């Protein structure tokens, strides 16, 4: 079926890297120009495919960090012993081609619905990436939906998008918990997210909040089951698991 | 615990089925449990992609890629309805 | 046609002097990647046994400690995974399948290995005898980790590594070849890495 685009059917397309931005010591944002991009929703991801000269291929998924309407951007955390993330964060240069397939997903998305349902966003490490798209979308829409973001990072230096998050305006509360290292005089949360932290930080269940939980698989499992334990109906806890990767 | 969930198979499924599938509802042929595809357990580190029932771990779907062909087996799924439709 | 990703080589490190030991299409890795098609089963050693079955009946079975009392071999082997990595000089402690089969009477021509978690894989009897296959329980001097198939896995290094079934609990002896898990989904019934027998018909 060469040359015919079947509606809805996803195919691989070649995008061009336009910029690489340092977020933390191990995290970079990659901005792409994707001529055939159909537009995306907040929370969606895409698949990246790398091809070596001998034809060897590797594929991975990455959340879209930018808001709908903005050029496609990814934010990738480098795993020392990983195959794809060190390439994306260290080898890739502006002007390089990057093969992508997307946008993907319809479950872990926020469509901008402006009803008053508060959002409870909970991120472990790079799990903040799709939630950042949701926050930017909310702000672009001038939505007044109340949002809390609970973001678990190893240390303050590992917080991705910190400047942006610290400037979030009215209606957005950003709460960090630092799991490994806290700065002198840190008064915020420390340690991993658990049920007692959630009972303090999360919207009470009677607020009918929708929770979006994203990050390494063990993190997501713990947070999602704690939320259900606190009285969140399972259908109001949306999850996306990144696998057994990285730190939170 | 490095398993993923149905979101991670979204791109592959959309390439195969031609529509967004992570919001579809699957019913497990083994235990009868219905779940959103995004909430199934997915294993991509192997010769093929394997999707399992989040309740009973029964295999729902296996996709094996051979060059540019996909071989899809869904014997473990009793019904699969795209979002907004009922079986 | 996909564009080549400039500067991308995958996880490979391929010292030239070892290339005669690496089958076509494979690259050498120092890691030990985990392949999984499901959750990692965890069976307590007290409840563990290894059985040889024929026509649905158990002909012989060994508890964990009975297996440990059998003659144990140190095996060093190169392993080749169908997902294209090879790992050289892996070191195992294991009981030879010859030792196990010597204790049952049979005239089978094939075996189907069965495992905790429901995984199966098929092999010709001729490929699990004559010192070519083991039930391995130590890797690199340590008890085999659950993610790598512990407490015990089959070790058949001359075939693609999906034949070296993780969490193995026994062998079913068969007259006719029957596809196992991946073989049912189009993978090769035999799986010789040197002939790149990945899929049915290769
Ligand atoms: C829907 C989705 C969205 C995602 N979004 C993002 C995102 O926005 N940003 C982001 O940074 N990441 C994201 N990820 C994770 C990303 O897809 C990759 O998993 C991550 O970048 C690691 O890839 P890698 O090739 O560098 O590491 P890999 O080579 O895959 O290795 C990952 C880790 O597992 C270990 N490992 C590798 N192979 C094996 C194996 N076979 N067995 C056992 N252990 C192994 C490695 O040692 C390493 O620690 C997302 C994942 C999903 C599913
Ligand atoms: Zn089930």
Assign residue A131 the CATH number of its domain: 3.40.50.80
C contact residues 119-158, partner B, Cβ 8 Å cutoff: none
Comparing CB atoms, the residue among A52, A81, A96 nearest residue C10 is A52
pLDDT bucket at B69, cuts 50 / 70 / 90: confident
pLDDT at residue C14 in the model: 57
Paired strand residues for C199: C187
Asked if residue A139 and residue A87 are part of one domain, the reply reads no
The residues spanned by each domain of chain C are 43-195
Is B71–C39 a contact, with Cβ atoms under 8 angstroms apart? no
pLDDT at residue A140 in the model: 96
Which residues of chain C neighbour A97 with C-beta distances below 8 Å? 3, 5-6
Is A109 part of a structural domain of the chain? no
* Section C56-79 average pLDDT: 97
CA of A242 to the centre of ligand 1 (A): 7
- Over residues C18-48, the pLDDT tens digits come to 678 999 988 888 889 888 899 999 999 999 9
* Section C110-114 average pLDDT: 98
Of the three residues A76, A104, A132, the one that is the final residue of a domain is: A104
| Calpha distance C181→C119 (Å, rounded) | 6
**Average pLDDT value over all residues in chain C:** 94
Whether the per-residue pLDDT at C117 is higher than 90: the answer is yes
Q: What is the residue-level pLDDT of chain A in tens, covering all 248 positions? A: 333 444 556 899 999 999 999 999 999 999 999 999 999 999 999 999 999 998 889 999 999 999 999 999 999 999 988 999 999 999 999 999 999 999 999 999 999 986 779 999 999 999 999 999 999 999 999 999 999 999 999 999 999 999 999 998 889 999 999 999 999 999 999 999 999 999 999 999 999 999 999 999 999 999 999 999 999 999 999 999 999 865 44
Asked if residue A200 and residue A161 are part of one domain, the reply reads yes
Asked if residue A127 and residue A223 are part of one domain, the reply reads yes
Is A239–B8 a contact, with Cβ atoms under 8 angstroms apart? no
**Distant-in-sequence, close-in-space partners of B22: CB < 8 Å, separation ≥ 6:** A104, A105, A106, A107, A108, B6, B7, B9, B10, B13, B36, B37, B38
**Count of domains forming chain A:** 2
pLDDT at residue C1 in the model: 75
Comparing CB atoms, the residue among A10, A240, A244 nearest residue B5 is A240
Range of the domain at B30: 22-81
Is A135 part of a structural domain of the chain? yes
Rounded to 5 degrees, what are φ and ψ at C7?
80, 10
Task: Say if pTM beats, i.e. exceeds, 0.95.
Answer: no
Ligand 1: which atom is nearest the Cα of residue A108? Answer: 1
Asked if residue A142 and residue A83 are part of one domain, the reply reads no
- Over residues C146-162, the pLDDT tens digits come to 999 999 999 999 999 99
| Calpha distance B87→B79 (Å, rounded) | 7
Range of the domain at A70: 2-104
Ligand 1, pocket-test mutation among A79, A102, A161, A240, most atoms within 8 A of CB: A79
In this prediction, what percent of chain C has a pLDDT beyond 70? 97
CATH code of domain C43-195:
3.90.420.10
Asked if residue A205 and residue A180 are part of one domain, the reply reads yes
pLDDT at residue B85 in the model: 53
Chain C nearest CA to B47, separation (Å)? 6
Is A91–C7 a contact, with Cβ atoms under 8 angstroms apart? yes
pLDDT at residue C15 in the model: 55
Asked if residue A93 and residue A16 are part of one domain, the reply reads yes
| Calpha distance B51→B43 (Å, rounded) | 6
Is B72 part of a structural domain of the chain? yes
SS3 A77: strand
Polymer length of chain B: 87
Q: Among B4, B5, B7, pick the best mutation site for testing chain A contact (most A Cβ within 10 A).
A: B7
pLDDT at residue C18 in the model: 65
Assign residue A6 the CATH number of its domain: 2.40.30.10
Asked if residue A68 and residue A129 are part of one domain, the reply reads no
Whether the per-residue pLDDT at C196 is higher than 90: the answer is yes
Asked if residue A59 and residue A147 are part of one domain, the reply reads no
Is A223 part of a structural domain of the chain? yes
pLDDT at residue A6 in the model: 45
Is A51–C5 a contact, with Cβ atoms under 8 angstroms apart? yes
Q: Is the Cβ–Cβ distance between A76 and A85 less than 8 Å?
A: yes
Is A51–C31 a contact, with Cβ atoms under 8 angstroms apart? no
**Distant-in-sequence, close-in-space partners of A171: CB < 8 Å, separation ≥ 6:** A144, A145, A146, A147
Which residues of chain B neighbour A218 with C-beta distances below 8 Å? 1
Is A48 part of a structural domain of the chain? yes
């Amino acid at each position: 079926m060469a040359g015919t685009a079947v509606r809805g059917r996803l195919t691989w397309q070649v995008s061009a890297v336009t910029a690489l931005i340092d977020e933390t010591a191990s995290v970079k944002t990659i901005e792409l120009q994707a001529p055939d991009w159909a537009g995306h929703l907040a929370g969606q991801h895409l698949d990246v495919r790398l091809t070596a000269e001998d034809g060897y291929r590797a594929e991975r998924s990455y959340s879209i960090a930018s808001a709908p309407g903005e050029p496609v951007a990814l934010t990738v955390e480098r795993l020392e012993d990983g195959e794809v993330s060190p390439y994306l964060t260290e080898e890739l240069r502006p002007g390089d081609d990057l093969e992508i397939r997307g946008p993907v997903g319809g479950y872990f998305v926020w469509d901008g619905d402006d009803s008053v349902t508060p959002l409870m966003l909970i991120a472990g490490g790079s799990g903040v990436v799709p939630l950042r798209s949701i926050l930017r979308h909310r702000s672009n829409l001038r939505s007044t939906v109340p949002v809390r973001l609970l973001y678990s990072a190893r240390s303050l230096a590992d917080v991705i998008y910190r400047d942006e998050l610290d400037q979030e305006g009215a209606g957005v509360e950003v709460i960090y918990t630092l799991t490994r290292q806290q700065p002198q005089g840190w008064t915020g949360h420390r340690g991993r997210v658990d049920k007692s932290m959630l009972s303090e930080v999360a919207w009470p269940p009677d607020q009918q909040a929708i929770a979006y939980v994203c990050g390494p698989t063990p993190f997501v499992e713990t947070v999602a089951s704690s939320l259900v334990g606190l009285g969140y109906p399972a259908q109001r806890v949306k999850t996306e698991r990144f696998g057994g990767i990285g730190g939170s | 615990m490095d398993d993923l969930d149905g979101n991670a198979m979204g791109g592959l499924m959309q390439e195969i089925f031609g529509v967004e599938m992570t919001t579809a509802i699957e019913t497990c042929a083994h235990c009868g449990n219905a779940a959103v595809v995004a909430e199934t357990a997915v294993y991509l580190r192997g010769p093929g992609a394997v999707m399992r029932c989040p309740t009973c771990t029964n295999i729902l779907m296996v996709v094996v890629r051979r060059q540019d062909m996909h071989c899809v087996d869904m014997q473990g799924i009793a019904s699969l309805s795209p979002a907004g439709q009922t079986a | 046609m996909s564009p080549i990703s400039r500067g991308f080589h995958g996880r490979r490190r391929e010292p030239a002097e070892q290339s005669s030991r690496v089958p076509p299409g494979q690259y050498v890795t120092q890691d030990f990647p985990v392949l999984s098609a499901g959750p990692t089963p965890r069976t307590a050693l007290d409840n563990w046994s290894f059985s040889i079955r024929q026509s649905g009946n158990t002909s012989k079975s060994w508890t964990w400690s009975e297996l440990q009392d059998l003659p144990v071999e140190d095996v060093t082997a190169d392993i080749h995974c169908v997902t294209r990595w090879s790992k050289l000089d892996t070191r195992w402690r294991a009981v030879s399948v010859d030792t196990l089969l010597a204790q049952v009477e049979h005239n089978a021509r094939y075996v189907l290995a069965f495992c905790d978690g429901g995984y199966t894989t098929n092999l010709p009897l001729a490929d699990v005898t004559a010192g070519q296959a083991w039930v391995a329980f130590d890797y690199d001097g340590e008890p085999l980790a659950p993610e790598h198939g512990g407490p015990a896995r089959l070790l058949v290094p001359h075939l693609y590594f999906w034949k070296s079934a993780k969490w193995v609990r026994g062998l079913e002896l068969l007259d006719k070849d029957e596809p196992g898990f991946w073989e049912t989904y189009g993978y090769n019934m035999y799986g010789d890495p040197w002939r790149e027998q990945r899929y049915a018909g290769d």
